[in-house]
Structure 1
Amino acid sequence: MPRERPVIHLHIGAMKTGTTHLQELMTANADELAAAGCLFPVTKGRYSQTLAARDVMNMTADDVTLRRARGEWDRVVQEMLSYDGRAAIFSMEFLSFARRRPAGRIVGSFGDAPVHGILTVRDAATAIPAQWQQAMQSQRTTPWHEFAGQVIANPPDYSAAGARTFRRTQDIPRMLSAWLPHIPPEQFTVVTLPRPGAPRHLLWERFAAAVDLDPAVAKRSAPRNNESIGAASAELIRRINERLSDIAISDYRGTMRHALAIKILSDRVSTEGKAPVNNAFLEFAAAANARARAAIEESGVRVIGDLDDLPVEAPAPSLDDTALDSPSDADVIDAAAYAMPRMRRVVAQRAKQLRRAHQKVSVRKVLADLPEARDAEAVTKRWTSAADPAEAAVTDLTAMCRAAIDLGIRLRAAGVKRAVEA
C-alpha cells in the first residue's frame, strides 16, 4: 500500500498580517512541530521558504538572489512530500501575489497530496500604512501622501505605485479568486489578524487552529526580526533611498532593512506618530474591508477569528479631508539624530570584523572619513546650523549607511558572517 501523503498547508497570507512573526515562531519551534507530526521545512535556515517562494514566483530581483533561489521550490516541495508525518506547512506571503494560473501551478506541484490554503487578513486602515513603511525598507521612494492618494484614487490607476501595491498585497477578493479554483473552500481557511491591543499570542492560537496544532507546542518565543518602524523613520529611509539607487537590493537589505530599520529605528516606534490619514482614506479602508468580508462570506471558506476585525464603517468625520501629509522635516531630523551614532557603531563593528578576518582595513581611517556622530545632541546642533537642516541630516546618514553597505559587501566577499549589530 502506498504511503499516505501529508496534508500540505499553504499559508498564503496577505502582506503585513503577522506572517513574519508566525514564520519566526515556527522556525524557532521546528523540532517541536516535527515531534507533533508537522514539518516546517527550514533545512537551509529561516530563509529556505523565502527562496523557494522567490523561485516559484520568479521573484529574483538580482543575480545573487537568482543563484540562491534557483531550484529551491522543487527541493522544498520534495522535502514536504517525502515527510513521514501527518502535515507540512509552507508559509510565505509572496504566494498571495499569485494570479490564478500561477496559483494552479503551485498547487499542482504537490500532485495527489491534499492541499489546504490559509489566508491571513488585516484591517485595511492599518495594513496600508504598514505596507508603505515596508515598501520604504525595500528601496522604494514614493512619499506617503502620494502613496496613500494613489491607493484611494477613484478610479484606480494601477500604473501608480500605491494602487499597484494595494492590489498586489492587500486585495483579498483578488487573492481568493486566484486560489479557490485550485483549493476547495472546505480546505481553505481565512484567519483574521486581531485588532491592535489584542494579546500577541492570539494570532498564533488562531493559526495553530487552522493547521490543527496545539498552540502549546510552540514553547520557544519568536525572535523579533520584523519590528515596525514609525512614519518619520520610514520617511527618513525613503529620502536615503533616493540617494542609494545604485545599490543592488541584495546589498541594500542587510544594512538598510536589518540594521537601520529593524535593529535601530524600530526602537522609536512608540515615540513617532503614525502615517497621517484623512476621512477619504478611512472611508476607502472601510469599503475595502466590506469587499473583503463579502468575498470571504460568499466563498464558503472557514473563518478563524472574527470578521469584525475588518471594520466596515469609517469613524465619524473628524479629520481634515485634504490632509495626508508626509512626516515633517523636524521629525525626520529627530530620527536621523537617533540613528547616526548607532549606525557609526555598525560601521565600526563591520570594520573590526574585517580586520579580524585578516582583511586590509583601518578602523580609524574608515571612521575618520565619516561625519562625526558622538551623540544625537551633537549631530542635531551641527545640522541646525546648516542652510537646510533636513538635507544635512539625510546627507550625513546616507554617508554612514553607504559605508556600512560597502563593508557588508566586503564581509560577504570574504565569507565572514556579520555579527549581530546595533
Structure 2
Amino acid sequence: MSTEKQIFLHIGAPLVGAGALQEALWHSGPVLAAHGVCYPLEGPHQHFAATMDLREMSWGGHRDPAWNGVWDRVAERVREWEGDRVVLSHELLGGATEAQARRAVESLGPGEVHIVFTARDLARQMAADWQEHVKHEHTVTFDQFVDDLVMKGIEAPEPFGEMFWGLHDPVRVLGAWGAAVPRGRVHVITAPRRERGGGGLWRRFAELAGIAPEWCDLAAVREQDPLGLAEAELVRRLNERLGTSLGGDYEPLVRRHVANTLLTGREGAEGHAEIVVPVRHHPWMRTRSREMVEGLEAAGYDVVGDLAELMPEFGGAVPAEPVDAPVLTGVAIEVIEALLRDLAKSRQRTQIAEINHELAQVREQLSRLSAAPAARSSVMRRAAGRLRGPGGGARG
C-alpha cells in the first residue's frame, strides 16, 4: 500500500447502495477516525450541499446560497487529515463535467485520489430509477419511461434522459472522472446479483477502501426496499390527482411515509409483482449492456466483483400485465387503513398532550395558592370541570 494518503471518492451510481454506504460511514465516523479513516462531513447531509456547490447545480428549481463554498470546506478537511485514508461519497458527483472532476481531484490533494463507481445492470437500474422519479411527483408510466430512454437516449424528456444516462452509465460517467486520475485508480464495484439489503456491495467497497468489518455496523447497511409494480403505480396515479397541491408536504407525507414506509413495509410486500423492462426491449438491453461491459474492459479500470454481473437476466422475471383495478384497489385500501390508524394514534397523542398541559397549569396555580385554602378549592373545581369535558364525562 502506498504511504501517501489515499482518498476514495465514491461518485455513484444512484440507487446502487449509495444511501446505505453513506449512513454506515456517518454513523461509524468516530470509530473510523480512530483507525485513521476520515469521513469529512460536519453534518449528515453536507455531502449533498458540497456536490451542488462543485457542480454549480440547482435542485428542484432552487439554488440555496448556503451551498456556496461547501465543497472547498469539505476539501480543506480532507487536506488537513493526518490519517492514511479518507472516504467521501455522493451519488450525484457522477454527473460532473471533466473540468469539475479535475477541480474536485485537485482540491482534495495532496494525496492519492481513487474514483469509485458502484454499478448494477441497466434493466434493474431502469426499474429503480423510474420508481424513484415516481416518488418525486412524476407521472410518467414505466413503459413510456423505458421507451424514451431506449429510443432517445440522453435526449429523452427532462429530467429522465440526463438523470439516467448521465449518472447510471459507467462508461459515460467515468469518461469525465477517468481523465482526472490514472486509470488504475478508477474502480468499478459491481452489485451482487439477487441480493437484498446491500451487504455484499458494502463488503466489496469496504475491502477496497481498507475498512475492517468490525469498524461499521453492517446491520445498519441496508438499501431502501423497492416498490412493487402495483405499489409504484398507486403512487404514480396519486401524483396525477395531487399535482403540486401538497407543495413541501409531499416529501414527508407521500415519499417518506406512504411510499417508503407504508407501501414497502406492508404485509405481503415481499411477494409483490416486480417491475421488469418490457420484453420488446430485452434484445436491445442485452446489446447495450454488452457494449457497456466491453467499454469498461477496454478502459482498463480496476473491477471489484465481476463485469458479468452487469448483464441483465430476464429468465426468471416476466413483465407484469398492466395493474388492474382490483389489485390497485386492494393496495389502496391497505394504505388507507394504515393512514387512518396513524391518524388515530396522532389524535390520541394530541389529546394526551392537551390533558398534560392542563394538569401542568393546575399544578402551577395550586403552587401559587397553597397558602389560600378557599382559593385552592375553587381552582380544583374548575380543573375538574375542564377534565370532564362537555356533557360531564371524563376525557381521555
TM-score category of the 2 structures, normalised to the smaller one: 0.7 to 0.9
Letter in 1 for 2:278: N
Letter in 2 for 1:270: E
* 1:112-261 equivalent positions in 2, closer than 5 A: 112-153=110-151, 157-159=155-157, 162-197=160-195, 200-219=198-217, 221-222=219-220, 224=222, 226-246=224-244, 250-261=248-259
Q: Tell me if 1:26 matches 2:22.
A: no
Q: Which residue of 2 aligns with 1:337?
A: 333
Please report how far the alpha carbon of residue 93 of structure 1 lies from its aligned counterpart in structure 2 after TM superposition: 0.6
CA distance in 2, matches of 1:189, 1:260: 36
CA distance in 2, matches of 1:95, 1:199: 23
Q: Which residue of 2 aligns with 1:303?
A: 303
Please report how far the alpha carbon of residue 72 of structure 1 lies from its aligned counterpart in structure 2 after TM superposition: 2.7
Q: Which residue of 2 aligns with 1:400?
A: none
Q: Which residue of 1 aligns with 2:277?
A: 277
Please report how far the alpha carbon of residue 340 of structure 1 lies from its aligned counterpart in structure 2 after TM superposition: 1.3
Contact in 2 for aligned 1:139/1:249 (Cα 8 Å): no
Please report how far the alpha carbon of residue 345 of structure 1 lies from its aligned counterpart in structure 2 after TM superposition: 4.3
Please report how far the alpha carbon of residue 308 of structure 1 lies from its aligned counterpart in structure 2 after TM superposition: 1.4
Specify the SS of the correspondent of 1:191: strand
Specify the SS of the correspondent of 2:114: strand
Q: Tell me if 1:17 matches 2:16.
A: yes
Q: Which residue of 2 aligns with 1:77?
A: 75
Contact in 2 for aligned 1:133/1:234 (Cα 8 Å): yes
Please identify, of 282-291 and 344-353, the stretch whose mean Cα deviation from structure 2 is larger: 344-353
CA distance in 2, matches of 1:78, 1:346: 45
Contact in 2 for aligned 1:145/1:325 (Cα 8 Å): no
Contact in 2 for aligned 1:96/1:175 (Cα 8 Å): yes
Please report how far the alpha carbon of residue 120 of structure 1 lies from its aligned counterpart in structure 2 after TM superposition: 0.5
Q: Tell me if 1:110 matches 2:94.
A: no
Please report how far the alpha carbon of residue 101 of structure 1 lies from its aligned counterpart in structure 2 after TM superposition: 2.5
Q: CA RMSD in A?
A: 3.1
Specify the SS of the correspondent of 2:261: helix
Please report how far the alpha carbon of residue 47 of structure 1 lies from its aligned counterpart in structure 2 after TM superposition: 1.7
Q: Which residue of 1 aligns with 2:358?
A: none
Report Cα offsets for 1:64-87 as digits up to 9, x if no partner: 872553433222222222222111
Please report how far the alpha carbon of residue 155 of structure 1 lies from its aligned counterpart in structure 2 after TM superposition: 7.2
CA distance in 2, matches of 1:36, 1:196: 33
CA separation of 1:313/1:129 partners in 2, compared to 1, >3 Å: closer, same or farther? closer
CA separation of 1:208/1:150 partners in 2, compared to 1, >3 Å: closer, same or farther? same
CA distance in 2, matches of 1:249, 1:305: 42
Contact in 1 for aligned 2:12/2:117 (Cα 8 Å): yes
CA separation of 1:336/1:294 partners in 2, compared to 1, >3 Å: closer, same or farther? same
Contact in 2 for aligned 1:100/1:178 (Cα 8 Å): yes
Please report how far the alpha carbon of residue 160 of structure 1 lies from its aligned counterpart in structure 2 after TM superposition: 6.0
CA separation of 1:88/1:251 partners in 2, compared to 1, >3 Å: closer, same or farther? farther
CA separation of 1:354/1:12 partners in 2, compared to 1, >3 Å: closer, same or farther? farther
CA distance in 1, matches of 2:146, 2:36: 44
Contact in 1 for aligned 2:148/2:157 (Cα 8 Å): no
Q: Which residue of 2 aligns with 1:288?
A: 288
CA separation of 1:226/1:115 partners in 2, compared to 1, >3 Å: closer, same or farther? same
CA separation of 1:58/1:351 partners in 2, compared to 1, >3 Å: closer, same or farther? farther
Larger helix share, 1 or 2: 2
CA distance in 2, matches of 1:99, 1:287: 27
Letter in 1 for 2:258: L
Specify the SS of the correspondent of 1:308: helix
Contact in 2 for aligned 1:38/1:89 (Cα 8 Å): yes
Report Cα offsets for 1:82-140 as digits up to 9, x if no partner: 22211111111111122323222322332433311000110112111111111111221
Specify the SS of the correspondent of 2:64: helix
